[in-house]
Amino acid sequence: MIALLIRDIRLSVRAGGGFGLGLAFFLIVVVLVPFAIGPEKELLGRISAGVLWIGALLAALLSLDRIFALDFEDGSLLLLATSPLPLEGVTLTKALAHWFTTGLPLSVAAPFLGFLLHLPPEAYTYLLLTLLIGTPALSFIGSFGAALTVGVRRGGLLLSILVLPLYVPTLIFGAETVRRVMMGSDPKTTLLMLAGITAGTIALLPFAAAKTLKINLR
């Protein structure tokens, strides 16, 4: 499984792998926001946490179809499925690889982009923390969505429609945690809920994704 993880990470970091694109997209989206809403510092500061969360979400969404589709097209997914490695292990590893190459860099980049949006100083740590905890959920939920649409040509938009409603709980608890910190109240409950959702998705969704892949590989 480690070999698979390293292989996937290496493949996506290589040229044509889409690694830097997610970060670039995140940056562009964040830069677009002041153009759309106006440069007023107060307003930007209030919405910054939410905008950063949505940007991270969309950037993670864009690279989801790479998780299985490339391997599906050239037949390596079939090889992985028939290998001694259980398919659930494969889906778990691939979702983890997606997080290493998308969610993790996005989370680290977010505080820097927070400067652009006048994120209040007390929110920085919690923004980083919530993104680090929440983006794995995005990768694992996304891997399920990618498994559903692996055989569909041009399935990108369909993937978005399927996956974005599933992202809602993570987004709500993640952004709410940062909002509560900005308001000065206790963020522990929402943070724990966020962590709980992530833990649940890591535990359960690889099974759903594996079942889905088995259906699609028939």
Residues that bind another protein (CB under 8 A): 144, 148-149, 151-152, 155, 158, 161-162, 164-166, 168-169, 172-173, 176, 189-190, 193, 197, 205, 208, 211-212, 215-216, 218
> To the nearest whole angstrom, how small is the minimum distance from the Cβ of residue 28 to another protein?
26
> To the nearest whole angstrom, how small is the minimum distance from the Cβ of residue 191 to another protein?
12
Contact 63, 98 (CB under 8 A): yes
The type of residue at 202 is I
Nearer to another protein, 39 or 154 (CB): 154
Query: What is the spatial distance between Cα 216 and Cα 65, in angstroms, rounded to a whole number?
Result: 15
Contact 55, 48 (CB under 8 A): no
Query: What is the spatial distance between Cα 206 and Cα 211, in angstroms, rounded to a whole number?
Result: 9
Nearer to another protein, 59 or 159 (CB): 159
Nearer to another protein, 21 or 172 (CB): 172
Nearer to another protein, 21 or 164 (CB): 164
Contact 58, 135 (CB under 8 A): no
> To the nearest whole angstrom, how small is the minimum distance from the Cβ of residue 145 to another protein?
9
Query: What is the spatial distance between Cα 138 and Cα 33, in angstroms, rounded to a whole number?
Result: 22
Encoding tokens for residue 121? 């100083």
> To the nearest whole angstrom, how small is the minimum distance from the Cβ of residue 129 to another protein?
18
Contact 145, 157 (CB under 8 A): no
Nearer to another protein, 48 or 177 (CB): 177
Query: What is the spatial distance between Cα 8 and Cα 139, in angstroms, rounded to a whole number?
Result: 14
